[in-house]
Each structure stands twice: as C-alpha cells, then as structure tokens.
C-alpha cells in the first residue's frame, strides 16, 4: 500500500503506477486495503497474490504456531483471546485473495 505524502506514493505517481486517484477505491467493500498500484513487471493481482503468500508463509510457520500454543499453555487467560483472534484471522488468511481480486483492476 502506498500512502499519500510518502516517498512510495510519489514514486508510484511519478511513474504512473497508481491505478486510481479516487481514494474511495483504496478499500474493498469489506474494508480491506485494495492494491492501487500496477507496474509493467507486476500487476495489482500479482502484488495481492504475493502479499497473501507472504502473510500465510509467516503466520503458518511451525515456530510461530508452536509459540502461540506455548503462550496459551503458559498463560491460560490468553487462550480465549488467541483462539478468537485465530478464528477471525484464519478466515481472512484463506479468503483474502478472492475477496480482494473483485476490487483489483
């Protein structure tokens, strides 16, 4: 995501990589960030797919999952919060691409 006022935004604008200037299109119907840049080498869809891949790769690492399980064992009061968060986050992890592709040009 490039944000107005940042070097990344200026770079994208100067190189005509922004897909829209309308800030209403910067979010999907679900309120998620929409990919608003596309380069000759990397389309908006490719960027979304890569971000989804990177997110899954990070949060589904055995060490990360084991750490969360250990945290629940060591701090039982955290278990309910972690389980609730995980349920919501896993829904997002596995469905974000299909939802975001509807808004990606």
pLDDT tens per residue across span 24-49: 888 888 777 888 999 999 999 899 88
pTM for the whole thing? 0.67
> Is pLDDT larger for residue 19 or for residue 34?
19
CA–CA distance from 15 to each of 3, 21, 44, 62, 69 (Å)?
15, 14, 15, 40, 46
Would the pLDDT of 100 be above 50?
no
Number of residues in the chain? 105
Residues above pLDDT 70, as percent of the chain: 90
Largest Cα span, the chain: 52
Q: What is the mean pLDDT of residues 73-100?
A: 81
């Amino acid at each position: 995501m490039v944000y107005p006022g940042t070097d990344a935004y200026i770079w994208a604008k100067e190189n005509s990589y922004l897909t829209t200037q309308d800030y209403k299109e910067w979010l999907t119907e679900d309120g998620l960030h929409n990919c608003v840049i596309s380069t000759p080498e990397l389309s908006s869809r490719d960027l979304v797919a890569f971000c989804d891949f990177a997110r899954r790769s990070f949060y589904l690492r055995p060490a990360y999952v084991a750490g969360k399980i250990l945290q629940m064992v060591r701090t039982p009061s955290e278990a309910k919060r972690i389980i609730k968060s995980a349920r919501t986050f896993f829904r997002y992890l596995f469905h974000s691409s299909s939802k975001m592709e509807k808004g990606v040009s």
